[in-house]
C-alpha cells in the first residue's frame, strides 16, 4: 500500500524539553487535542504496530517508557532519520540517525517502540494513495483550472491530496473564493449577451467601413470663385444754408445817422429813400 503526504513536516521548529507531543504537533502544524503521547497513541484509529513505514513519507513514531506514563513521540523522516525533543536542556530538536539510535540515546529509560500512525491527534498527515487520487501537481492543476491562477494557500488545496478529483472539487466548492467565482458565473449569460451585442455592432461598423473603402473616389474639378465687389452706397448730405456775410459799418462819433444807414449795403432804391429823408 502506498501513501501520499498531506501534511508537510517542518522538523526544524523549536521544541520545549519534555514536551514531545507539542513538538510533533508543531512539526505538522496541528493543534493540541490529547494530554500526552500515550493518550494520543491509544486514541489513534490509524496506528500500525510494525516498522513497515510508508515510502517517501514522514510519520509520527510512538514509544512507551516504564518510568514515564506520558510516553514519547518523535518524527520519522522519509530517509529513516528521527527528529525528537530528546535533549533535556536544548530547544533545538535532536536529529538521530535511525530508530535504533534514538532508543540507544535514551539508554536506561528502556524506551520501547510501539508503532507509527497515519495521523497525529486525529489529523491525518499521510493518506492511502488511490489510483484516481490527486498528487500535489494534480491538486494545483485543479486549482488553476477552476480559478485561472496559481494557488497561494496551502491550507486550501492540500486537503485534496490523496483524494479523487471529484472529492477535491466538492471540497473546493465550500471555499469562500469559489462562492465569489460562482456569483461571477451566475452573471455570465447577461455579460455574454452584452458582448454579443457589441460584437455585432463592431461587425456592422467594419462592414460599413469596408463598403466605403471599396467605392471609387470622385474628385470634382476645381471651381474658380470671383470675389464679389460690393458697390459702396454714397449718401449726399443736404446743402448747408449759407448766411450772407454782412459788413458792419465803421461807426465813428462824427458820422451822421444818414451816413450810418448808407454805410449798410441796402438795395439801391432803399438807399435813395433813406437819403432824402429829413
Residues 134 and 89 in one domain: no
Q: Which long-range contacts (CB under 8 A, 24 or more apart) does 145-151 make?
A: 146/172, 146/178, 146/181, 147/177, 147/178, 147/181
Number of domains making up the chain: 2
Q: What is the CA radius of gyration of the chain?
A: 59
pTM for the predicted model, two decimal places:
0.51
Residues 91 and 164 in one domain: no
Residues 122 and 138 in one domain: no
Pairing of strands 82-84, 94-96: antiparallel
Examine residue 27 and state whether it is found in any structural domain, yes or no: yes
Residues 166 and 56 in one domain: no
Residues 121 and 142 in one domain: no
Examine residue 143 and state whether it is found in any structural domain, yes or no: yes
Examine residue 103 and state whether it is found in any structural domain, yes or no: yes
Examine residue 274 and state whether it is found in any structural domain, yes or no: no
DSSP characters over 159-217: GGBTSBHHHHHHHHTTSHHHHHHHHHHHTHHHHHHHHHHHHHHHHHHHHHHHHHHHSPP
Residues 70 and 135 in one domain: no
Measured between its terminal Cα atoms, the distance across the chain in Å is 174
Domain ends where: 99, 127, 155?
A: 127
Consecutive sets of 10 residues in the chain, 278 residues long: mean pLDDT of each? 90 96 97 96 96 96 95 97 95 96 91 97 88 72 76 67 70 73 72 72 80 72 62 57 52 47 52 57
pLDDT for residue 235: 58
Pairing of strands 68-76, 82-84: antiparallel
pLDDT for residue 149: 77
Plot region of 230 (φ>0 → left; ψ -120 to 50 → alpha; else → beta): beta
Structural domain range at position 177:
130-186
For 50, 143, 147, the CA distances from 184, given in Å and listed in that order, are 52, 17, 12
pLDDT for residue 258: 46
pLDDT for residue 254: 46
Residues 33 and 119 in one domain: yes
pLDDT for residue 103: 95
Residues 47 and 158 in one domain: no
Instruction: Convert 165-180 into a string of H (helix), E (strand) and C (coil).
Output: HHHHHHHHCCCHHHHH
Examine residue 79 and state whether it is found in any structural domain, yes or no: yes
Residues 56 and 90 in one domain: yes
State the cell numbers at 196. 454579443
Amino acid at each position: 500500500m502506498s501513501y501520499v503526504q498531506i501534511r508537510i513536516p517542518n522538523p526544524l521548529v523549536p521544541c520545549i524539553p519534555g514536551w514531545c507531543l507539542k513538538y510533533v504537533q508543531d512539526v505538522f502544524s496541528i493543534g493540541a487535542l490529547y494530554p500526552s503521547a500515550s493518550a494520543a497513541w491509544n486514541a489513534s484509529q490509524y496506528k500500525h504496530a510494525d516498522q513497515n513505514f510508508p515510502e517517501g513519507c514522514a510519520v509520527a513514531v510512538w514509544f512507551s517508557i516504564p518510568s514515564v506514563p506520558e510516553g514519547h513521540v518523535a518524527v520519522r523522516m522519509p530517509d529513516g532519520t528521527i527528529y525528537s525533543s530528546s535533549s533535556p536542556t536544548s530547544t533545538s530538536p535532536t536529529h538521530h540517525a535511525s530508530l535504533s539510535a534514538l532508543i540507544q540515546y535514551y539508554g536506561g529509560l528502556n524506551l520501547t517502540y510501539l508503532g507509527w500512525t497515519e495521523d497525529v491527534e486525529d489529523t491525518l498527515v499521510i493518506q492511502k494513495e488511490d489510483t484516481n487520487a490527486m498528487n500535489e501537481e494534480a491538486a494545483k492543476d485543479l486549482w488553476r483550472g477552476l480559478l485561472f491562477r496559481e494557488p497561494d494557500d496551502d491550507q486550501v488545496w492540500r486537503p485534496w491530496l490523496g483524494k479523487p478529483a471529484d472529492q477535491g472539487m466538492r471540497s473546493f466548492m465550500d471555499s469562500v473564493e469559489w462562492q465569489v467565482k460562482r456569483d461571477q458565473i451566475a452573471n455570465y449569460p447577461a455579460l455574454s449577451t452584452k458582448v454579443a451585442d457589441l460584437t455585432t455592432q463592431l461587425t456592422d461598423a467594419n462592414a460599413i467601413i469596408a463598403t466605403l473603402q471599396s467605392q471609387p473616389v470622385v474628385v470634382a474639378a476645381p471651381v474658380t470663385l470671383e470675389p464679389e465687389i460690393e458697390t459702396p452706397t454714397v449718401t449726399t448730405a443736404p446743402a448747408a444754408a449759407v448766411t450772407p456775410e454782412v459788413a458792419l459799418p465803421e461807426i465813428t462819433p462824427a458820422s451822421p445817422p444818414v451816413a450810418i444807414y448808407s454805410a449798410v449795403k441796402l438795395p439801391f432804391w432803399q438807399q435813395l429813400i433813406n437819403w432824402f429823408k429829413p
